[in-house]
Amino acid sequence: MTFKEKVIIFVATGAGLGKIPFAPGTFGTLMGILFVLTFKLINPCYETISVVILIIFAIWIADQAEKILKQKDPGCIVIDEIAGYVVTMVGISLSIYTILIGFVLFRFFDVFKPFPVKYFEKNFKGGPGIVLDDLVAGLLSSFVLRILIKFNIFI
């Protein structure tokens, strides 16, 4: 494997967290918390732009990693979970509760893949196929989290 390929795999696996033999997606989502905290340091005007850049980068990295590993949507790629969790938390005021509930909601939608999450996983290939279902899971999680916040449920 070339140096470039090693870097791509390192990034795609969330600094190697995706190589943990059990629950790699959960560990990838944990890495997503670091991204969320970092993005909150950015001027709110640029938060959405930063997330869009992350999504485009995640699609490219996932696509490249899939080709290098010669597997369709390998479980070790967790950049999609990172991007999906970041989408969950965009525009949400951070507290220990919102971070944890957002985490649980995202993992729920990512693992069980209700409609339309499963649709995106099945109907797209390559990088988009790896990342889009997590983005949809992130959008659903964000929607539910916002309802919980609005009605002061668990938060």
Burial of 14 (0-12, 13-18, 19+ CB in 10 A): buried
Number of domains the chain is built from: 1
Whole-angstrom distance, CA of residue 46 vs CA of residue 130: 25
Whole-angstrom distance, CA of residue 140 vs CA of residue 112: 12
Low-confidence stretches of the chain (pLDDT beneath 50): none
Specify the DSSP class assigned to residue 19. G
Residues 90 and 48: beta-carbon distance below 8 Å: yes
Residues of the domain holding 34:
3-150
Task: Using CA atoms of 132, 133, 139, 141 in order, give the dihedral in degrees to the nearest 10.
Answer: -150
Residue 155 lies in a domain: no
Task: Write out pLDDT tens, residues 83-111.
Answer: 999 999 999 999 999 999 999 999 999 99
CB atoms within 10 A of CB 45: 7
Task: Give 4-38 as a 3 state SS string.
Answer: HHHHHHHHHCCCCHHHCCCCHHHHHHHHHHHHHHH
pLDDT value of position 154? 73
Where do we find the tokens 């699609």?
59
Residue 88 lies in a domain: yes
**pTM (2 d.p.):** 0.95
pLDDT value of position 155? 67
